[in-house]
Amino acid sequence: MSLFKITFLAFLSVVSSEFLWKHHNNEELQLVLEEIHEKCPNVTRVYALTEPSVRNVPLYVIEFSDSPGFHQPYKPEVKYVGNIHGNEVLGRELLLGLADYLCNQYLNHDRRIRTLIHNTRIHLLPAMNPDGWQLSTDTGAQDYLIGRNNNHSVDLNRNFPDLDAITFEFERQGISHNNHLLKDLTRLAAPLEPETRAVMRWMMAVPFVLSAALHGGDLVANYPYDESRSGAPVSEYSASPDDDTFRELAMTYAEAHADMADPKRTGCPVSNTDSSTSYNFGKQGGVTNGAAWYSLKGGMQDFSYLATNAFEVTLELGCKKYPPAEELEREWHRNREALLEFISKAHVGVKGIVSDDSGFIQNAIISVVNITGPVPRPIRHDVTTAAYGDYYRLLTPGHYEVTASHPGYFPVSRVVTVPHHQTVAKILNFKLEPTTSWFDDYTTFGLYPYGLRDGQPRIYKRSIYEQVTNMFLDKKETPKQ
Ligand SMILES: [Zn+2]
């Protein structure tokens, strides 16, 4: 090969790996992710969700981890979902830019990014609604409504099963069951769209701890619940059991953003045609409870919290839903620190492994009482252990009593102090004693004889919740009414 050829090829590879701030179409989106993977093959993986969009566009995800493709105990999983509303496009480009940045900084030996990738498994889904993006882009990229929905004219952020109604009903009846509520759903209000189904299966398959959905049209970090308890359409604060933690998660983004939390900035214009401005969320720190703003049913955020272990917030990234390409790089600089800081919040609170003499216990329940003040306050939202018996319980600084329980075992409680400024969650492991001899547990013994005899961990390939969801998704796709 001539020197010219080598130089030319080297030049080409440099050019092709240069990330450009522009609006990437659906084919370019895939190419960008694949190029990043080629640049950082050891710490990335590109995969598509189980189902494509209505118009058959695959929903691509790029994953960053030092063990791509595998969940590891003690390593929390985080996701960002962009472009749920097809005409809200900033999140889509920011996630592509974030992927490029993580890869480059990893290669540049940036210690912060290396630590983040070694300790966290990060999944980025730049576009949940590629069909809406296409329509919005083809019709001038200006309209505040066209392209919002998917190709069946369904708003994907209203299409998730309404689990708020179930948890509110359980609250009224004094029923303590407060998590993984999908199996308590008896019917769907509307058929699930393919994009919704794909994301639901993803949520159930990966033990996510922390998540954010990226939207546009205002500048605020919105946290659960999105749905009001009374049915009021606006202005009713709808606190979840984890209100303190959610406020802190939302504030983390707002305060690390260039001006989301700035009380002096102006609010967004009410609409394209109306130059008057709406409320400036900067006056309340750049955050809002969802229902205190306006109530919505079937959103992804509340579904995440009530169907899985993931704590999810909704980020409104700016007044313009479809900002011009020349503003994208500036927006990246305004959001970069916030995007990174938010991911690092997967490392607050406590984490650990629940096991018995023979191995890990999957689906053990972790319940928490806040004992910081004079009166103990139970946080009525339990999390469960993943395939390696591992759990992640995001908490604000304070004192807590944490209890691990599982049918067939004596529950164990431990007291823990969650410090300020955590870079890694406090580790709190639990060893449970069975209430009966393990010889009685014949079915388990029969299924995993070598595992028990050799003291090897009991590893289940798929979680019970995933199995339940798949059953649910397969059987109940059409509403009964
Ligand atoms: Zn939106």
pLDDT digits (tens, 9 = 90+) for 40-69: 999 999 999 999 999 999 999 999 999 999
If phi > 0 it is left, if psi is from -120 to 50 it is alpha, else beta; for residue 404 that is beta
Name the average pLDDT for the chain: 90
- Pairing status of strand 390-393 against strand 350-356: antiparallel
Q: Cα(216) to centroid of ligand 1, in Å?
A: 6
Instruction: Pick 312 or 480 by higher pLDDT.
Output: 312
Instruction: Pick 12 or 261 by higher pLDDT.
Output: 261
- 437 pLDDT above the threshold of 70: no
Question: Tokens at residue 3, please?
Answer: 């020197």
Total number of residues shown for the chain: 481
Helix, strand, or coil here: 311?
strand
pLDDT at 436: 73
Q: How much of the chain exceeds pLDDT 70, in percent?
A: 87
Q: Which of 63, 66, 31, 39 is nearest to 49 (CA)?
A: 63
Evaluate whether 272 touches 144 at the Cβ level (below 8 Å): yes
Evaluate whether 164 touches 302 at the Cβ level (below 8 Å): yes
Question: Tokens at residue 292, please?
Answer: 């205190």
Q: Using pLDDT thresholds of 50, 70 and 90, give the confidence band for residue 374.
A: very high
Q: Which of 273-287, 322-336, 368-382, 433-447 has the lowest mean pLDDT?
A: 433-447
Domain with CATH 2.60.40.1120 in the chain: 350-472
Q: Cα(252) to centroid of ligand 1, in Å?
A: 20
pLDDT at 274: 75
- 246 pLDDT above the threshold of 60: yes
Write down the CATH number for the domain with range 22-347: 3.40.630.10
Q: Which of 19-33, 277-291, 465-479 has the lowest mean pLDDT?
A: 465-479
pLDDT at 12: 46
pLDDT at 200: 98
The b/e string for 339-361 (b: 16+ C-beta within 10 A; e otherwise) is: bbebbbbbbbbbbbbbbbebbbb
Q: Cα(398) to centroid of ligand 1, in Å?
A: 34
The b/e string for 318-330 (b: 16+ C-beta within 10 A; e otherwise) is: bbbbbbeeeebee
Q: Using pLDDT thresholds of 50, 70 and 90, give the confidence band for residue 376.
A: very high
Q: Cα(208) to centroid of ligand 1, in Å?
A: 22
pLDDT at 15: 45
| Cα–Cα separations (whole angstroms), residue 303 to 198, 310, 460 | 14, 9, 25
Alpha helices (runs of H) in 191-287, residue ranges in sequence order: 194-205, 243-256
Q: Cα(363) to centroid of ligand 1, in Å?
A: 33
Helix, strand, or coil here: 215?
strand
> Quick check: is 34 catalytic?
no
Tell me the per-residue pLDDT of 14-41, one tens digit each, with 9 for 90 and over: 445 689 999 999 999 999 999 999 999 9
Q: Cα(136) to centroid of ligand 1, in Å?
A: 13
pLDDT at 473: 66
Amino acid, single-letter form, for residue 326: E
pLDDT at 141: 85
Helix, strand, or coil here: 36?
helix
Evaluate whether 64 touches 121 at the Cβ level (below 8 Å): yes
- 166 pLDDT above the threshold of 80: yes
Catalytic residue of the set 316, 326, 341, 401: 316
Q: Using pLDDT thresholds of 50, 70 and 90, give the confidence band for residue 145.
A: confident
Evaluate whether 73 touches 390 at the Cβ level (below 8 Å): yes
pLDDT at 74: 96
Question: Peptide bond before 460: cis, by omega within 30 degrees of 0?
Answer: no
Helix, strand, or coil here: 198?
helix
Tell me the per-residue pLDDT of 87-117, one tens digit each, with 9 for 90 and over: 999 999 999 999 999 999 999 999 999 999 9
Rounded to an integer, the average pLDDT of 234-239 is 96
For domain 350-472, the CATH class is: mainly beta
Q: Using pLDDT thresholds of 50, 70 and 90, give the confidence band for residue 463.
A: very low
Domain with CATH 3.40.630.10 in the chain: 22-347
pLDDT at 480: 38
Q: Which residues pair with 288 in a beta bridge?
A: 222
Q: Which residues pair with 356 in a beta bridge?
A: 359
- 142 pLDDT above the threshold of 90: no
Q: Using pLDDT thresholds of 50, 70 and 90, give the confidence band for residue 275.
A: confident
Q: Cα(119) to centroid of ligand 1, in Å?
A: 30
Q: How far apart are CA 297 and CA 191, in angstroms?
A: 14
Q: How far apart are CA 51 and CA 49, in angstroms?
A: 6
Q: Which of 74-88, 268-282, 317-331, 352-366 has the lowest mean pLDDT?
A: 268-282
